[in-house]
Amino acid sequence: MQRTRRDILLFMGGGAAGAMLTPAPWRLVTDAAIWSENWPGIPRPARGEITARYTNCALCPAGCAVRARCVAGQPVSLAGVAGNPLSQGAPCAFGLTGHQLPYHPQRLKQGTPEEAAAAVRGAMAKCGPGESVAVLDLAPGRASSWTYRRAMAAVANGVYLAPPRPLGGAAVNLAKARTVLSLGAPVLDGWGTPGNVHAARANFRLIQAEPWESRTAALADEWLPIRPGSEAALALALKDPKTAPSAAQATGLTEKQILDLANELTASGPALVLSADDLPEALALNQALGAWGQTLVARPEVPVPDAWKKAAPERVVASVPDSSIRVLFIDESVPGSHIPWSAVEKKLVRDNPVVVAFAWSLEGYGRHAQFTLPTAVYPELTSDIPPAIDSPAATFRISAPLVAPPARMTDPSAFIAKAAGMDAGNALQERADAIHKSGRGTLFTYADGKSTPLKDIKPDAFWKSLNEGACWVDDAAVGRASWPAFLSSPHDTQAEPQSTAFPLLVAFAEPRTASLTSPLMSKLYQDSDLRMAPNTAALHPDTARASGIAGAARAVLETQYGRCAIGVIPDESVPPGMLEVAAGPEVLDICGAFTRAKVVAA
């Protein structure tokens, strides 16, 4: 029989009907739905044994103790260590995402250490009289810092440079404070060790004198909204009331307010005055209030091996003659305070200086250096963390690696020591041994939360527990000497330009560091408005209008040191005449302490 179109149709119809009576169509529909649960692109978290490992956070000078939850050895989340004498188990947003930094998309992976070494050798040979080889160490006080100092002592005309120490290296004893006056210092927002501050918070009254309502101002016991740039005048008036009238003029407070505040500071002591950038006036006020030995103390040195004593002195960049540095090493492997490139650049010799930056990303000085050598990043790196500003006792803790650093990473201290023709050795352990030899203090181990006198611990056990998460806390009595000279001599502050050229005053809303944060921080500044993204500025709508950028999302920030593109956010909580800026490498390059600026249309 011959087939007709109709037969074929019927056949297909039968097929369809029959198929309905088989599992096939239903199974396919189900599978398709399940496929939508695990279609390509959805990662599967690795499984494995879950363990807790301990280390210390190297992302800021606080160096909080960290408990890492690890799956098959890989940290998947970080938390504080409860009961820790220094950080009290209180983490911060940046620290909580630290374990993701090694996977940052902008991470620096390649470098040319051999070429860099060769170039350095050549330049050092060429280094004439009056020229110098310098190391700029952003986080001074570490064992590697000592290596740099020794290396610079070893080479002819070597110079060791570090950022000016806050409070000249003195320590704050918050536990003693009853009244704290903060002139724009972010006391509750990243100053010192968060856990320590919050623990002491209940015992002192916090008065925040700041033009805009920062996170600290919002939670201070009293907020004095003063005019931008009038902090110094206020401090002065509090020291001698005769200037109160003029201070009232400058700050916009009433004379009575100022005098009452002055009385309070003296009446309900011990008092402490903190300022965003170590105002000389603030230091002087501290001296007048008799803070020294009470809330401001000289911290005993962390012991170092005697062999290290032959070391180059620590100097600030400003103290070096201009165009005198031929070879400059910059170690930013551990985030520290930032020095504007403009300030560094003018110290370099004119004819091709060699600048070698050690960094884990190209965001910092790497943008300006001839050679940028990739380093390990927390939590890969091995480094000790100097005592925090709010720790009156000397401390020693190690940021031990939780993850193995990738191959082809450079160790800055080894590199620099080699360039100086010396051997860095195992500086970290040497210093640990030196501390152990001193026999002072106690060791707090994180895993079991026990404190043990150092006397009862063997050297190797000490070293071992330091690497497994522990901190050594000194018990030596703090010096009660008289007001030290270094606090009276104010460190350099860049000359302020006339306010006419640059009408706006820059205040930093976020921690002032150039180092990258975890991609996950985008939850805070992109998925919400809680924090500002790097290189953005908030300003009053009127200010924006006056600057001719009303309604614009981007603009150009201009200071005496240069200009850079920024994002702008209109915000009525920022007083007119002020810029509330989130630090980013570009912004930091053109902003020093007390910078005046202007914004112009992009």
Partner 1 sequence: MIAPNSKSQPSRERQRAVSRYGMSIDLDRCTGCGACMVACAVENNVPPAHEGATARKGITWIRVFKVDNGEEGAARRSVFVPVLCQQCGEDTPCVHVCPQQAVEVDPATGIVGQMPERCLGCRYCMAACPYHARFFNWWDPQWPAGMEKTLNPDVAPRMRGVVEKCNFCHGRWHAAKERAAAAGKSEIEAGAYVPACVESCPTGAIRFGDLKDAASEPAVAAKDAHSFRLLEKLGTEPKIYYHSKRDWVRQVAAAPKPPNGKENARG
Partner 2 sequence: MPFLAGALAALGAGWVGFPHAIYKSRPQPVDFSHKVHAEKAGTKCEDCHAFREDGTFAGIPSLSTCAACHTAPMGTTAAEKNFIDAYVTPNREPDWASYAQQPENVFFSHITHVKLGQLKCEQCHGDQGASDKLRPYQVDRISGYSRDIWGRTLFQSKAAGAVPGMKMDDCVDCHRKQGLSHSCLDCHK
Partner 3 sequence: MDREFITRGVKRCSGGKFLLWILPWVAMLIFGLYSAGLCLVKGLNQTNMDNRFAFGLWIFLDLTVIALGAGAFFTGFLLYILKMKELRAVINSAVVIGVVCYSGAMCALAVDVGQPLRFWFTFWYPNVHSMLTEVTFCITCYLTVLMIEYLPIVLKNRKLRDVPEFLVFQHELHKLIYVLAGVGTFLSFFHQGSLGGLYGVLRGRPFAFREGLAIWPSTFFLFILSAAAVGPSFVLLTTWLVEKISKKRLVRPEAMQMLGRISGLLLAVYVLLKTIDTLVWINRTSPGNGFPAAQYYAWHPFGTWILFTEIALLGMVPALILLTPKLRARTGWLVSAAAMACCGVALNRFVQTVQTLAVPTLSFDKFMTYTPSWQEVGTFLAVLAYGVLVYSFSFRYFQLFPDERELKLEVAQVEEEPALVGRY
Which spans of this chain sit near partner 3 (rule: CB under 8 A)?
29, 32-33, 35-36
Assigned token pair, 504: 């706006």
Give the residue with the Cβ less far from partner 1, 80 or 392. 80
Q: Does 27 bind partner 2 (CB under 8 A)?
A: yes
Q: Does 267 bind partner 2 (CB under 8 A)?
A: no
* Rg, Å, the chain Cα set: 29
Give the residue with the Cβ less far from partner 2, 15 or 459. 15
Q: Does 37 bind partner 2 (CB under 8 A)?
A: yes
DSSP track, 185-197: --TTTTSS-HHHH
Least distance to partner 1 from the beta carbon of 2, Å?
50
Give the residue with the Cβ less far from partner 3, 32 or 530. 32
Contact yes or no for 87/65 (Cβ under 8 A): yes
Q: What are phi and psi of 269, to 5 degrees?
A: -85, -175
Q: Which of residues 173-192 bind partner 1 (CB under 8 A)?
A: 188-189
- Name the burial class of residue 572, with classes exposed (0-12), middle (13-18) and buried (19+) by CB atoms within 10 angstroms of its CB: exposed
**3-class DSSP assignment, residue 392:** coil
Q: Which of residues 399-428 bind partner 2 (CB under 8 A)?
A: none
Q: Does 21 bind partner 2 (CB under 8 A)?
A: yes
Around Cβ 504, how many Cβ atoms within 10 Å? Answer: 25
Q: Does 13 bind partner 2 (CB under 8 A)?
A: yes
**E strands of 148-283, at which residues?**
158-161, 171-172, 179-183, 205-209, 222-224, 271-275
Contact yes or no for 468/56 (Cβ under 8 A): no
**Nearest partner of 576 among 545, 531, 553, judged by Cα:** 545
Partner in contact with 97, chosen from partner 1, partner 2, partner 3, none, beta carbon below 5 to 8 Å by kind? partner 1
Give the residue with the Cβ less far from partner 1, 287 or 518. 518
List all residues 6 or more positions away from 545 whose beta carbon is below 8 Å from its beta carbon. none
- Name the burial class of residue 358, with classes exposed (0-12), middle (13-18) and buried (19+) by CB atoms within 10 angstroms of its CB: buried
Partner in contact with 193, chosen from partner 1, partner 3, partner 2, none, beta carbon below 5 to 8 Å by kind? none
Q: Does 404 bind partner 1 (CB under 8 A)?
A: no
Partner in contact with 219, chosen from partner 3, partner 1, partner 2, none, beta carbon below 5 to 8 Å by kind? partner 1
Cα separation of the two ends of the chain? 83
Q: Which of residues 48-87 bind partner 2 (CB under 8 A)?
A: 49-50
Partner in contact with 526, chosen from partner 3, partner 1, partner 2, none, beta carbon below 5 to 8 Å by kind? partner 1
Return d(Cα 230, Cα 540) in angstroms, integer: 19
Interface residues with partner 2 (CB under 8 A) are 7-8, 10-19, 21-25, 27-28, 30-32, 34-35, 37-38, 42, 44-45, 49-50
Binding-site ranges for partner 1 (CB under 8 A): 36-39, 41-48, 50, 71, 74-80, 90-93, 96-97, 99-100, 102-105, 188-189, 194-195, 198, 201, 213, 215-216, 218-219, 223, 225, 518-524, 526-531, 538, 569-573, 575
